[in-house]
């Protein structure tokens, strides 16, 4: 997989998840910068891990993907709780933002597969 394709997916994730949080009122400069940084870090880490393990995990790819996404939600939720204080509503918001960005990501990769 091309590095630019992975970077494009990471940028799409940032746009989708940041947009989601902005809609729900998380608009401080600190939160926006933190959201961009944590999403780039977790998305790139997950995608490069999956890319590196692709031949090793074979038919277990979907399971590893789901476990990786669960870990991403845990890491991002923890990061946001540290960043914003104990605003517990950030946990379901983070889960929701990640579910939406996964759907956008599936669409992104499906479109690229057609090209």
86-111: pLDDT as tens digits: 899 999 999 999 999 999 999 999 99
DSSP state, 28?
-
Q: Contact 35/26 with Cβ under 8 angstroms?
A: yes
Average pLDDT over residues 5-34: 97
pLDDT tier, 59 (very low <50, low <70, confident <90, very high otherwise): confident
Note the helical H segments in the chain.
3-23, 29-57, 61-84, 90-114
pLDDT, residue 57, reads 83
Contact 90, 84 (CB under 8 A): yes
The reported pLDDT for the residue numbered 1 is: 61
Domain range summary for the chain, segments of one domain joined by +: 3-114
Q: Whole-model pTM?
A: 0.92
Pair of tokens at residue 10:
């990471």
**CA–CA separation, 66 vs 98, rounded Å?**
11
Taking the CB of residue 39, how many other CB atoms lie within 10 A of it?
Answer: 25
Under 8 Å between Cβ of 1 and 35: no
pLDDT digits (tens, 9 = 90+) for 20-56: 999 999 999 999 999 999 999 999 999 999 998 877 8
């Amino acid at each position: 997989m091309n590095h630019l394709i992975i970077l494009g997916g990471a940028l799409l994730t940032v746009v989708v998840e940041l947009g989601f949080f902005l809609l729900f009122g998380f608009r401080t400069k600190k939160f926006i910068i933190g959201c961009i940084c944590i999403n780039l870090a977790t998305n790139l880490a997950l995608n490069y891990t999956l890319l590196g393990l692709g031949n090793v995990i074979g038919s277990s790819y979907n399971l590893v993907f789901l476990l990786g996404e669960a870990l991403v939600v845990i890491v991002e939720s923890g990061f946001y709780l540290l960043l914003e204080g104990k605003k517990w509503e950030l946990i379901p918001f983070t889960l929701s933002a990640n579910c939406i960005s996964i759907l956008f990501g599936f669409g992104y990769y499906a479109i690229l597969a057609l090209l």
